[in-house]
Amino acid sequence: MSQAEIGIFGGSGFYKLLDDVREAKVDTPYGPPSDSVFLATVSGRRVAFLPRHGRNHTLPPHKVNYRANVWAMRSLGCQAIISPCAAGSLQRHVEPGSFVVCDQFVDRTNGRADTFYDGPIVTHVSPADMYHPILRKLAIETIRDHGIVCHETGTVVVIQGPRFSTKSESKWFHDQGWEVINMTQYPEAYLCHELGMGVVNISLITDYDAGVHADAEAVTAHDVLAVFNSNAEKIRQVVLDLIGRIPADLSGVSTVQGLAFTRGDGHAASPEDIRLFGTKLL
């Protein structure tokens, strides 16, 4: 039996609330994950928690080993991933303290290892509708049941970090109509998609990004941390509640079947080929 079925990328605050937490070290073909994976049972579900920045927040966003983190979750048996994060707002109506359940992303990172499919079997996985609709619906319902302002859709633009945006960059993102800005959703969420795991993002809005509005102060790391800490209990309770609402049968959340149609060398396919999604991992 797998050791976990639902994975959570987030801070140490999640698993510190729970009893009987086990710590597991996971080797991956891509090097070490950000930290140990912490295993626990929540609402009768087997859950794995992994702090994406390390338990002491020592890994900046551009140094996170996203492939190792995602591979570790899948190797433990996870089929669904909840990916909460702190984020900035690019639109006035998306106020600090509210949550956004994103349905699209825009990648503005560079140099990050962002695929498991490096050949020799060429594979093209589409992220057109990457965030899973069932998980998104459940997340929206859970957030609203907790009395938190929830934006049901939103595009998150993912920047390289660790620096924040310039005012001109922020205005550009705002003018495109995008709602959320973050540094970790790509390639984390997309890599989950590549390994057939359904994924949902919950963005906790901590600030207005620089340059969005004339009367908004430029964001600082201290501002982000202050708002996030004041709302940390809210996001923890939402995530823990959401776990219990995810269907027991995860076949409707897994995206493994879709991977069968992503191969780019169909004209030269052979029955003897051994492809990643056909291995024991997937």
- Residues 41-71: pLDDT tens digits? 999 999 999 999 999 889 999 999 999 999 9
- Residues 75-132: pLDDT tens digits? 999 999 999 999 999 999 999 999 999 999 999 999 999 999 998 888 899 999 999 9
The CA–CA distances, whole Å, from 90 to 84, 136, 147, 180, 230 equal 18, 21, 23, 6, 21
Q: What is the pLDDT of residue 256?
A: 83
* The pairing of beta strand 104-108 with beta strand 155-159: parallel
Band of the pLDDT at 6, cuts 50, 70, 90?
A: very high
Q: What is the pLDDT of residue 214?
A: 47
State the SS3 of 16-54. Answer: HHCCCCEEECCCCCCCCCCCCEEEEEECCEEEEEECCCC
Band of the pLDDT at 72, cuts 50, 70, 90?
A: very high
Amino acid residing at 274:
I
Q: Which of 209, 215, 249, 273 is catalytic?
A: 209
Domains of the chain (ranges; CATH) run: 6-266 (3.40.50.1580)
Instruction: List the Cα angle 228/200/30 in 5-degree steps.
Output: 90
Q: Which of 20, 27, 118, 207 is catalytic?
A: 207
Query: How far apart (Å, rounded) are the C-alpha atoms in residues 184 and 269?
Result: 35
* Residue 15 pLDDT greater than 70, yes or no: no
More confident residue, 223 or 66: 66
Query: How far apart (Å, rounded) are the C-alpha atoms in residues 66 and 64?
Result: 6
Band of the pLDDT at 227, cuts 50, 70, 90?
A: low
Is 207 a residue of the active site? yes
Q: What is the mean pLDDT of the chain?
A: 89
- Residues 211-220: pLDDT tens digits? 665 455 655 6
More confident residue, 259 or 188: 188
More confident residue, 264 or 31: 31
Q: What is the pLDDT of residue 143?
A: 98
Q: What is the pLDDT of residue 270?
A: 80
Round the CA-based radius of gyration of the chain to a whole number and report it. Answer: 18
